[in-house]
Chains A and B, each alone.
Chain A
Amino acid sequence: MKNNVRRLAYVIFTGLVAICVYLSLIPYYLKHVPGGGALADPRITARESMIKRGSIYDRAGRVLARSVPQKGGGFVREYPLGSSAAHLIGYYSIKAGSAGLERTRASVLLGLDEGNPLYSLLNRITGKPGVGNDIILTIDAGLQQYVAGLLNGQKGAVVVIDPATGAILASASYPSFDPTRVLDYMNKPDSPLLDRALQGAYPPGSIFKIVTAAGILKDLPGMAGETIHCSGELEVNGFILKDNAVHGNVDFQEAFARSCNVAFGRYGLALGAKNFINLAGTFGISVRPGFPLPLYPGYIPRVDELSGPALASSAIGQGKVLVSPLQAALVACAVANGGEIMKPYLISRYSGPGGFAKTFRPEKWLMPMTPAVAGVLKDEMIAVVKSGTGRAAALPGITVAGKTGSAENPHGKSHAWFVGFAPAEQPRVAVAVVLENQGSGGAKAAPLAREILRRALE
């Protein structure tokens, strides 16, 4: 009987100790539970009335979000850029809750996290409510507004990145919303609250040929020298992969410049499924960088799903492959930055009372190709804009490199894609543009990209 008592005691102790451990996991659970946003924590609101939420600034110090005192106490958020940067900044209000950076960095903005620890302790000791921290972004507010303006009326997204640092200069998504009237946009068609730039899942179409081409140059350089005959269609195990034209005999350069599906389907088959999946991974497809906002990680099929026809269509960016516009921009960055992808970052600095400052530095992230391969691809991409499908992206006096794509999808006309960078000699800006169901990338996306590059290089 004594042993039974002992065993019973162990059971109850285990239960109570388990609760102690479980208690410490609750914050983690709340952070990751699906549907966790269904109810805003009224504590944040209660604190909000005491603590002034920090402001959000662009790289030059232009205000993107700030708190202004309200009549009768408390503060209300103001967003000078309105809908232009709504997806990045997000919103905060008592009624609608929060999203974007206002949500993911709320504890920083409210000074509950980060900040000068001595200063926070002093506030705690003296019983004063804390003061929020400011967040400084890598965004260029002018460019952001310009891009959002260009995109206005066309469903799609644009991401502009500095390839040398990974700093995001602009990221826009249309349709957008007014961050002060969020409730009006909930459950509307075309999901205006969705950030297509970071969370959109699009078939990449021909822009993915950059990835396939990098794989060929790296693993099968001999094949790049061969000539392939394009009869307008490629038969793989009884399935037919159609091309948009009959390109005749093409070599690697021509195949890239004229976006020949037959040639690239062959390249994909030559690389093999496993190799192809690894290759996509080195470009960051289905890899999650640490980022302050939720990202769509992209999708690449598993080896067993990549039979011959699926592999050939994946190699030309069709099939089941999906990427976000941010990832498309990072592919361009890889070529622009000598083969290396810098980790994309949005927040350049926190700054707070008591002299608190925390700066985020550019970080190296992935190295999908050697500088030599990047050099060859850069020349190919220059050729695309000079004489290939991307002529509409050309700028006078500046060498633009790019690749177009027209991604077939089940929702209607093709998505128009363009990824590129400029100036090609010393790239300062990389861009990805996707316009939903707008048809040809060369005709629709490339001109938009040209204007964005022109504005960004001013």
Chain B
Amino acid sequence: MMLEILIFVLRTAFQVLIYAFIFVVIIYVVKDLRGTGQVVEVRRGQKIYQGQCYLKVEHAPGDSGLAGSVLPLGAETRMGRNPKSEIVLSEKVISNNHARIYFDQGQYWLEDLGSTNGTFLNGLPLSEPAVLANGDRIKIGDYIFRLVRWKNEVESDHRVRPGAT
């Protein structure tokens, strides 16, 4: 009798555990999608979530104080001197609306917005929107950014050292 009851409880648990497993996976997946997952690191007040794409500032003019910081990317990130830009770059050679990074078709795209002095992707001037890949270097004026799509690269990738251009 007691054994039967125990078996019933375990049987029920067996079935419930199927959904417990699914539930936990879904919770994690939803957290990933909402970008509210595990906080991987906090730098200069900007929280970076796991799976989120961001720019790492490799090099910046000394007075900007941006060097070494990380800038998360949203659906659209405008860069330029315009104070309404998501990333404000205060340097004379940089145009008001210099460039933008936008998300489309599952990819991040870099587009030059007709700047005077140009935007450089991996050393080459950009003429039309280009897909960004992990590790790409973007040069605007004296600023150099590196795109990070995977968290673990920040630590392990040593090809490009801050300041090396």
Contact = CB atoms under 8 A, between A and B. Distances in A.
Do A's and B's CB atoms come within 8 Å in the complex?
yes
B5 interface: yes
B105 A127 contact: no
B8 interface: yes
A128 B5 CA distance: 11
A125 B105 contact: no
Contact of B106 (A2, A124, A125, A127): A2
Nearest to A127: B4
A125 B105 CA distance: 53
B8 A6 contact: no
A24 interface: no
B164 interface: no
B107 A125 contact: no
A127 B7 CA distance: 8
A237 interface: no
A391 to B, nearest CB: 69
B8 A127 contact: yes
Nearest to A5: B106
B105 A2 contact: yes
Q: How many of chain A's residues touch chain B, expressed as a range?
A: under 10
B16 interface: no
A359 interface: no
B22 interface: no
Contacts of B7: 127
A6 B106 contact: yes
Interface in B1-58: 1, 4-5, 7-8
Nearest to B7: A127
Contact of B8 (A2, A3, A124): A124
A6 B106 CA distance: 10
Contacts of B8: 124-127
Contacts of A125: 4-5, 8
Contacts of A3: 105-106
B106 A126 contact: no
Contacts of A128: 4
A126 B105 contact: no
A426 to B, nearest CB: 56
Interface string A123-134: 011111000000
A126 B107 contact: no
Contacts of B4: 125-128
Contacts of B105: 2-3
A219 to B, nearest CB: 61
A3 B105 CA distance: 7
B12 to A, nearest CB: 9
Contacts of A6: 106
A29 to B, nearest CB: 24
A6 B5 CA distance: 47
B134 to A, nearest CB: 15
Contacts of B1: 126
Nearest to B9: A125
Nearest to A2: B106
Interface string B103-146: 00111000000000000000000000000000000000000000
Contacts of A127: 4, 7-8
Nearest to B1: A126
Interface in A1-32: 2-3, 6
Interface in A73-129: 124-128
A165 B106 CA distance: 69
Nearest to B8: A125
A2 B107 contact: yes
Contacts of A2: 105-107
Contacts of A124: 8
Nearest to B4: A127
B13 to A, nearest CB: 13
Nearest to A3: B105
Nearest to A126: B4
Contacts of A126: 1, 4-5, 8
B107 to A, nearest CB: 7
A311 B140 CA distance: 92
A252 B163 CA distance: 113
Contacts of B106: 2-3, 6
A126 B11 CA distance: 12
A124 B7 CA distance: 10
Nearest to A124: B8
A294 B5 CA distance: 41
A257 to B, nearest CB: 70
A255 B70 CA distance: 102
A117 to B, nearest CB: 15
A366 B40 CA distance: 72
Nearest to B2: A126
A137 B8 CA distance: 36
Given A2-B106, A126-B5, A127-B8, 7 more contacts: A6-B106, A125-B4, A125-B5, A125-B8, A126-B8, A127-B4, A127-B7
Nearest 9 pairs of A and B residues by beta carbon: A127-B4, A2-B106, A125-B8, A126-B4, A125-B5, A2-B105, A3-B105, A126-B1, A127-B7
10 contacts: A2-B106, A124-B8, A125-B4, A125-B5, A125-B8, A126-B1, A126-B4, A127-B4, A127-B7, A127-B8
